[in-house]
């Protein structure tokens, strides 16, 4: 689909310096990701070398300053990579969690030593990062986390369990949401603690069997008397974790919305192509008025979603994306994406239900977008608080 269909005007964030980044990302995705996706789905994780290959060509930590080994770009650079990944159907190695989420927790809240120690190794792919908030007993209610980091001299002793952690099986560094003070509830005692995977007592559970995103190593993690130095606290002050999460979550939610926008466009492309080539009753399926009207509706949704997402990306780049707007983008675009992809799947008939068809994988892969990053119900809570 050409850009005239996608956009009514060129977005401010789409500057000319992104052209070579897009070319690099497209080549990488087509050469290194697309041919391996089926195999990765079978094994439930990417090859570890993917990360070092991405680091070698400069696609990791694109929006981290060069002084920390990053690409020195902006969030727009991350968006370009994400768009190209989504177009080839990739959500395997969760580069977005590494680039857009984990690296920015370190950049925004880490001490100078933490940034220098971790960001260059994350940029090279030597270190894969994950963030572990969710626990078996709590996801939406982050204030209820039970994982504890108890101070013992110059160390924290961490005990607890996390689940649904993206990059969990391959991660070398996990940013763990833990309770550092007394008490079992409330946000004031929550801190983020850096845990290296080689620490004694750190255990990975199984890679979870999911209905989609099957190449993604979403895992359970356990912490049994894991000792880390107190310098592994993200930042310098205990109890800042909740504020740190609240500051970073809008970027994560916008990133989910970007993926939703590209997923709708990709579904539309697949479906136009398929319905033109498939015949029923002696003519292409595309020629039925129902098909053309449905696709016209999806094209309209794609345009409106893209316009909203472009606006949010522009706002984020100006430092003006507030939490309720990010929440609006997250819930609304992921809801629209599921509706649109479902329509597109229907137009594929039985083939749409076969996992060898991209539309089937897109449908299954996108479903979780309404759930992770804060469920769409929680997004409406966030919005309603400012009404
Ligand atoms: C594939 C995948 C990858 C993930 N990756 C990560 C990761 O890398 N790191 C991480 O920390 N987590 C990750 N998660 C976890 C994800 O963020 C949580 O699943 C999500 O936040 C929901 O939490 P929960 O599953 O405990 O659901 P619950 O909180 O138990 O919610 C169950 C239902 O109740 C609803 N609900 C809850 N509270 C309210 C309320 N106040 N008002 C209205 N409805 C409500 C929810 O919307 C939902 O419909 C991942 C999840 C998946 C599936």
* Tens-digit pLDDT profile for residues 121-172: 999 999 999 999 999 999 999 999 999 999 999 999 999 999 999 999 999 9
Q: Single out the catalytic residue among 23, 252, 269, 297.
A: 252
Beta pairing class for 173-179 and 129-132: parallel
Q: Does 135 participate in catalysis according to the annotation?
A: no
- The Cα 20–Cα 182 span in angstroms is 51
- The Cα 96–Cα 102 span in angstroms is 9
| Residue matched to tokens 């003519």 | 283
- For ligand 1, atom 32: residue with the closest CA: 140
Contact 185, 200 (CB under 8 A): no
Widest Cα–Cα separation across the chain: 79
CA angle, 82 then 83 then 86, to 5°: 85
Helix or strand or coil: residue 135? strand
- For ligand 1, atom 37: residue with the closest CA: 140
Q: List all residues whose CB is within 6 A of at least one atom of ligand 1.
A: 97, 130-134, 138-140, 164-166, 210, 213, 218, 368, 371-372, 374-375, 377-378, 381
Ligand 1 pocket, mutate which of 140, 167, 373 (most atoms under 8 A from CB)? 140
Atom of ligand 1 lying closest to residue 132 CA: 11
pLDDT score recorded for residue 1 = 45
Residues 6+ positions from 269 with CB-CB distance below 8 Å: 1
- For ligand 1, atom 25: residue with the closest CA: 139
- The Cα 168–Cα 163 span in angstroms is 9
- For ligand 1, atom 6: residue with the closest CA: 165
* C-alpha 372 to ligand 1 mean position (Å): 6
Ligand 1 pocket, mutate which of 139, 211, 249, 383 (most atoms under 8 A from CB)? 139
* C-alpha 27 to ligand 1 mean position (Å): 34
Distance of CA 231 to CAs 174, 178, 180, 251, Å? 15, 15, 14, 26
| Residue matched to tokens 């559970």 | 205
- The Cα 283–Cα 273 span in angstroms is 14
Q: What is the chain's alpha carbon radius of gyration, rounded to the nearest angstrom?
A: 21
Name the E strands within the chain: 129-132, 148-152, 155-165, 173-179, 190-196, 202-207, 219-229, 279-280, 283-284
* C-alpha 375 to ligand 1 mean position (Å): 6
Residues 6+ positions from 161 with CB-CB distance below 8 Å: 135, 136, 147, 220, 221, 222, 223
Tokens of 373: 């990053």
Tokens of 321: 């994306």
- The Cα 213–Cα 355 span in angstroms is 12
Judge residue 189's burial from the number of C-beta atoms within 10 Å of its C-beta, 0-12 exposed, 13-18 middle, 19 or more buried. buried
Atom of ligand 1 lying closest to residue 213 CA: 1
Below-70 pLDDT ranges, the chain: 1-4
* C-alpha 369 to ligand 1 mean position (Å): 11
Atom of ligand 1 lying closest to residue 216 CA: 1
- The Cα 263–Cα 156 span in angstroms is 42
pLDDT score recorded for residue 92 = 73
- For ligand 1, atom 11: residue with the closest CA: 133
* C-alpha 302 to ligand 1 mean position (Å): 26
* C-alpha 161 to ligand 1 mean position (Å): 15
pLDDT tens digits for 92-124?
778 999 999 999 999 999 999 999 999 999 999
């Amino acid at each position: 689909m050409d850009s005239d269909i996608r956009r009514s005007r060129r977005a401010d964030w789409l500057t000319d310096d992104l052209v070579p980044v897009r070319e690099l990302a497209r080549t990488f995705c087509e050469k290194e990701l697309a041919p391996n996706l089926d195999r990765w789905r079978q094994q439930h994780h990417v090859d570890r070398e993917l990360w070092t290959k991405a680091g070698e060509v400069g696609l990791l930590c694109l929006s981290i300053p060069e002084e920390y080994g990053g690409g020195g770009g902006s969030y727009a650079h991350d968006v370009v990579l994400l768009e190209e990944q989504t177009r080839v159907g990739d959500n395997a190695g969760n580069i977005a969690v590494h680039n857009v989420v984990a690296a920015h927790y370190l950049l925004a809240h880490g001490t100078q030593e933490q940034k220098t120690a971790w960001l260059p190794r994350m940029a090279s792919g030597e270190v894969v990062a994950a963030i572990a908030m969710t626990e078996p007993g709590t996801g939406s209610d982050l204030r209820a986390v039970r994982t504890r980091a108890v101070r013992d001299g110059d160390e924290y002793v961490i005990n607890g369990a996390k689940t649904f952690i993206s990059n969990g099986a391959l991660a070398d560094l996990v940013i763990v949401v833990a309770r550092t003070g007394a008490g079992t509830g409330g946000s004031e005692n929550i801190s983020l603690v850096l845990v290296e995977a080689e620490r004694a007592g750190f255990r990975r559970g199984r890679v979870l069997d999911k209905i989609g995103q099957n190449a993604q190593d979403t895992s359970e993690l356990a912490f049994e008397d894991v000792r880390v130095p107190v310098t592994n606290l993200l930042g310098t002050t205990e109890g800042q974790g909740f504020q740190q999460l609240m500051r970073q979550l809008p970027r994560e939610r916008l990133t989910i919305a970007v993926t939703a926008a590209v997923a709708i466009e990709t579904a539309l492309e697949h479906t136009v192509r398929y319905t033109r080539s498939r015949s029923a009753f002696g003519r292409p399926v595309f020629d039925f008025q129902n098909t053309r009207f449905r696709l016209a509706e999806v094209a309209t949704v794609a345009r409106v979603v893209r316009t909203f997402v472009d606006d949010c990306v522009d706002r984020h780049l100006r430092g003006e994306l507030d939490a309720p707007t990010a929440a609006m983008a997250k819930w609304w675009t992921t809801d629209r994406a599921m509706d649109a992809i479902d329509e597109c799947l229907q137009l594929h008939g039985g083939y749409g239900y076969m996992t060898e068809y991209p539309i089937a994988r897109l449908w299954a892969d996108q479903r979780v977008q309404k759930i992770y990053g804060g469920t769409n119900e929680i997004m409406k809570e966030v919005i309603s608080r400012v009404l």
